Amino acid sequence: MSAVRDSATPSKLASRIILVVVAVVFAVPILSMVEFTLRAGIDGGHDLGHWAAILDPENSRKYRVLFQGIGNSVVLAAVTVLIVVVLLLPTMILVKLRFPKLQRVLEFVCIIPITVPAIVLVVGLAPVYSVVARLLGSAPWTLAFAYGITVLPYAYRAIAANLQSVDVGTLAEAARTLGAGWGTVLVRVLLPNLRRGVLTASVISVAVVLGEYTIASLLGRNTLQTSLVQVSKSDPFVAVAFALLALAFAFVLLFIIGRVGSIRRIRETP
C-alpha cells in the first residue's frame, strides 16, 4: 500500500469531524428521550424509577400487551426474512440467470411499494386479508405477507448491489458442469457468495418490520409499535423506555450481524 493518500479518500481529520458532528446531532433526540424516562418527579432530579416499573410484577397486566407485541414482532421479522430469502432471492437470481430482460420489470415492481403510502395500501389490503384470514386464520404472523411487500424496495436494493459484483452466471455454469443440481447450486454455490447482500437485506427487513406501525394498526394486529402506542396512552414513560429498548435491540442485532459478515470477509480476503 502506497504511503501517499490517494485523492479519493478524505483526510482522517475531515472524516472524523464530519462523523462526530453528525453523530452528536443525531444523538441529541435519543438523549432527550433517555432524559425523559429518567425524570424523577415534580421536584426535578432524575432516577431509574420508570425503568424499574417495567420489571414490577404489579404492572404485568398493563404491560402484557407490550410483551405480546414484542413476541409477535419478532415472529413477524423472522417470517419476513424467510419470505425475502425464499421468495425474493431465488427470483432475483433466476431473473439474472435466465431472464435478463425482465430485470427492469423486477426492479420496477420492487420499487412500487415505496410509492404507495401504507394508509392507502391498507384500504386495499383489508379485503385480501379477509380471504387470507379464512385460509390461515388471523394470527399475527400472517401480517408478514404484507410486510414482505413493504420490505421489497430495501431488500431488493441490498441484494442487487451484491448480485452485480458476483458473476452468478459463471458460478452456476461451473457448478452445473460439475454435476450439481439446481438446489445445490443455489444453496451451496450461490448463497455463500451472496452472503453480504442477503445479510444486509435481512438486517434492513428486520429494521423495517420492527418499525412498522400503520399497516398493523389498521388491520388490528398487535405488534411492537402498536403496543407501544397502547402503553403510551396509560404510561408514557414506560412507552418511551420500551421504544428506546426496541431501538437498542435492533441496533445491537444489526451490529452483530454486520460484524459477523465483516469478520467472515476479512478471513476470506487473501
Partner 1 sequence: MNTRRMTALAIVALAATALTACSAGADTGAGSDVDAKQATSAEDFGGMDALVEAAKAEGQLNVIALPDTWANYGKIISAFEDKYDITVNSADPDVSSAEEITAAKNQQGQDTAPDVFDLGSAVALDNLDQFAPYQVANWDDIPEGSKEKTGLWVYDYTGLVSIGYDADAVPAPKSLDDLLGSEFAGKVALNGDPTQAGAAAAGVYLAALQSGGSADDIQPGVDFFQKLNQAGNFLPLDPTPATIASGETPVVIDWSYNNLAAATENEGQRNWKTTVLPGSAVGSYYNQAINVDAPHPAAARLWQEFIFSPEAQNLYLAAGAYPSTLAAMVEADTVDQKALDAVGEMPADLVQFTPEQTEQATSLLAEKWAAAIS
Partner 2 sequence: MSASATRRSEAGSAHAGPAVSLPPTDASDASAAPAEARPRRRPRWALLGLTPFALYTLLFLAVPTFLALATGFFDGDGAFTLDNLTALAEPAVLGAFASSFWVSAVTAVAGAVIGALVCYALLAVRPDGLIRTFVDAASSVLAQFGGVMLAFAFIATIGIQGLVTVFLKDRLGVDLFADGVWLYQVPGLLLPYLYFQVPLMVITFMPAMEGLKRTWSEANATLGGTRSTYWTRIAMPILAPSFLGSLLLLFANAFSSYATAAALISQGAQIVPLQIRGALISETVLGRENLAGSLAIGMIVVMVVMMTAYSALQARTERWQR
Nearer to partner 1, 196 or 221 (CB): 221
Q: Considering CB distances under 5 to 8 angstroms, the limit depending on partner class, which of partner 1, partner 2, none binds residue 133?
A: partner 1
Q: Considering CB distances under 5 to 8 angstroms, the limit depending on partner class, which of partner 1, partner 2, none binds residue 52?
A: none
Answer for which of 87, 136, 139, 187 binds partner 2 (CB under 8 A) is 87
- Asked if 216 and 143 touch (Cβ cutoff 8 Å), the reply is yes
- H helices of the chain, where? 12-37, 49-55, 60-83, 89-98, 103-115, 118-136, 143-165, 168-177, 182-184, 191-193, 195-211, 214-218, 224-234, 236-268
Footprint on residues 10-69 left by partner 2 (CB under 8 A): 10-12, 14-16, 18-19, 22, 26, 28-33, 35-36
State yes or no: residue 45 binds partner 1 (CB under 8 A): no
Q: What is the 3-state secondary structure (H, E, C) of 95-106?
A: HHHHCHHHHHHH
- Asked if 76 and 143 touch (Cβ cutoff 8 Å), the reply is yes
Q: At which residue does the C-alpha cell 410483551 appear? A: 67
CB neighbours of residue 24 within 10 Å = 10
Sketch the per residue contact string, 121 through 160, with partner 2: x for CB under 8 A, - otherwise: xxxxx-xx----------------xx-xx--xxx--x---
Footprint on residues 119-158 left by partner 1 (CB under 8 A): 122, 126, 129-131, 133-135, 137-138
State yes or no: residue 237 binds partner 1 (CB under 8 A): yes
Which of 33, 28, 72, 30 has its CA nearest to residue 51?
33
State yes or no: residue 191 binds partner 2 (CB under 8 A): no
What are the residues binding partner 1 (CB under 8 A)?
Answer: 36, 39, 41-42, 61-62, 65, 122, 126, 129-131, 133-135, 137-138, 217-222, 226, 229-230, 232-237, 239-240
